[in-house]
Amino acid sequence: MTGPYQGYVYAYPHKTAYRPLTPEPTLEQVWEGEDKNALFLYLHVPFCEMRCGFCNLFTRTGAPEELTSAYLDALERQAARVRDALGEATFSTAAFGGGTPTYFTAPELERLCDIADGFADLAAVPLGVETSPATATTDRLTVLAERGTTRISIGVQSFIDAEARAAVRPQKRAEVEAALDRIRAVGFPTLNIDLIYGIDGQTPVTWLHSLDAALAWRPEEIYLYPLYVRPLTGLGKLGRDWDDQRLSLYRLGRDHLLAQGYEQVSMRMFRLPGTGTGTEYCCQTDGMVGLGCGARSYTGDLHYSFEYAVGASQVRAIIDDYVQAREFGTARVGFRLDESERRRRHLIQSLLQNEGLDRAAYKARFGSDAAADFASDLSAFADRGWLNETASALRLTPEGLAHSDAIGPALFSPDVQNLMNAYEAR
Ligand SMILES: C[S@@+](CC[C@H](N)C(=O)[O-])C[C@H]1O[C@@H](n2cnc3c(N)ncnc32)[C@H](O)[C@@H]1O
Ligand code: SF4
């Protein structure tokens, strides 16, 4: 472990560990025998009005209307094929992510909701949608609210114009405030605001200023992201004491939100108590159906997706292929999880949450004790003061949670790590 910011582990294994599946299994084969209750429905919208310097998500800018409508046509074709393959299935939660789903116009968002409605009754399940300040217009927000959106998440990053510019996120605070005003006026049960720390020129004072500007809206959730700049994206330079800057801004942000009555859910996520979405989806065990290119799908032993890229020309080529595709009946690239990878995934997904790993739940699922299965990894964390082990739980200490982005990657299996390294070295 060389520093606190090795990587954001929002899913295990990471998409860079996926490889072409040969032969490609049909979706019927992939989903046969799976528990299809309480699935997560995810629709990916790979379009944005700008390409932020820090972002390595699967997205492109400047899509003309022909492309967005061709993308929706392709989504419809894919949705029909996936529904056929799934058969009877129930969904406990849904999300539109990206990119920026609200890059779509209001009528396009209606179409997107219709596609999702073919799987899950959007009026009955929690639905989260990501948006950006320029695209969070009243007409789009109104469609989303009417179609059952329960959580709207907006990327703000910083309330200081110079910092937004430094992060190559050209936006004005006035636009951000106007967007937040529109979101509150249309009305959603949960508003989430994303902020980033570790931007060039950001100081404890300016960070607190952004936090307070966000808190003025009393958002039900706030995500604090440490800035990452990876190869292939616009920003390139690492400051010498960038790690220290990020760690101290993290502590400041965390303590400030806790003092304001927020509870910490994970290193990045904070929420007002009592405002959870009430979803029954359990990320350790339940499956996911992803639609759109860039979207992943999970069964118990296979994670799969379309081809993945970050570089602008490859992203465009993959989207162009997707909109022309007629055949959506197989899983193209993916990773098969054996029993030991499933245990590892359960450990990682649980440990990186503030509530930690429930030892009885792990035992009920795998028939063994997590502390025994991962004794040497866990003792390294305990030696650093990052882990508390009790009879019922394995739980990160506050310092452990601060080092989530070192702990997650340290738990990758050698196989997954090798695949990721080989991808990065291409
Ligand atoms: C899909 S975007 C949110 C919605 C919308 N596209 C926007 O940017 O306003 C996801 C969030 O991930 C965070 N993010 C993405 N790449 C990041 C990076 N390299 N470092 C830190 N945070 C990052 C940003 O806070 C961003 O708001
Ligand atoms: S941060 Fe949001 S708006 Fe910026 S490029 Fe990434 S997905 Fe698009």
Atom 21 of ligand 1: nearest residue by CA position = 227
d(CA 400, CA 319) in angstroms, rounded, equals 39
Buried b (16+ CB within 10 A) or exposed e, 342-379: bbbbbbbbbbbbbebbbbebbeeebeeebbebbeebbe
Q: Ligand 2 pocket: which of 8, 47, 49, 52 to mutate (most atoms <8 Å of CB)?
A: 52
Q: Return the C-alpha torsion angle 363, 7, 227, 3, nearest 10.
A: 100
The residue among 128, 101, 280, 258 whose CA lies nearest residue 191 is: 128
Atom 6 of ligand 2: nearest residue by CA position = 55
Runs of H (alpha helix) within 11-64: 27-31
d(CA 44, CA 159) in angstroms, rounded, equals 27
Atom 7 of ligand 2: nearest residue by CA position = 99
- Of all ligands present, the nearest one to the C-alpha of 168 is 2
d(CA 373, CA 362) in angstroms, rounded, equals 11
223 CA from centroid of ligand 1 (Å)? 10
| Ligand 1 contact via 156 beta carbon (within 6 Å) | no
| Full-model pTM | 0.95
| Ligand 1 contact via 196 beta carbon (within 6 Å) | yes
| Ligand 2 contact via 348 beta carbon (within 6 Å) | no
374 CA from centroid of ligand 1 (Å)? 32
Give the model confidence (pLDDT) of 95-112 as tens digits.
999 999 999 999 999 999
67 CA from centroid of ligand 1 (Å)? 23
| Ligand 1 contact via 210 beta carbon (within 6 Å) | no
| Ligand 2 contact via 309 beta carbon (within 6 Å) | no
- Which parts of the chain sit beneath pLDDT 50? 231-237, 278, 280
Q: Which atom of ligand 1 is the closest one to the Cα of 97?
A: 1
> What domains are defined for the chain?
16-271 (3.20.20.70), 339-416 (1.10.10.920)
d(CA 421, CA 167) in angstroms, rounded, equals 27
Dihedral sign for Cα atoms in the order 252, 255, 261, 265: positive
407 CA from centroid of ligand 1 (Å)? 22
d(CA 281, CA 190) in angstroms, rounded, equals 17
Beta bridge partners of 333: 20, 305
155 CA from centroid of ligand 1 (Å)? 6
Over the Cα atoms of the chain, what is R_g?
21
Q: What is the pLDDT of residue 231?
A: 43
| Ligand 2 contact via 413 beta carbon (within 6 Å) | no
Asked if residue 54 lies in contact with residue 167, where contact means CB atoms within 8 angstroms, the answer is: yes
d(CA 52, CA 34) in angstroms, rounded, equals 38
| Ligand 1 contact via 167 beta carbon (within 6 Å) | no
Atom 3 of ligand 2: nearest residue by CA position = 48
- Of all ligands present, the nearest one to the C-alpha of 100 is 1
Return the biggest CA–CA distance within the chain.
58
d(CA 132, CA 141) in angstroms, rounded, equals 11
Burial degree of 398 (CB within 10 A; 0-12, 13-18, 19+): middle
Peptide bond into 97 cis (omega under 30): no
Q: Say what angle helices 106-117 and 138-146 make with each other, to 10 degrees.
A: 20
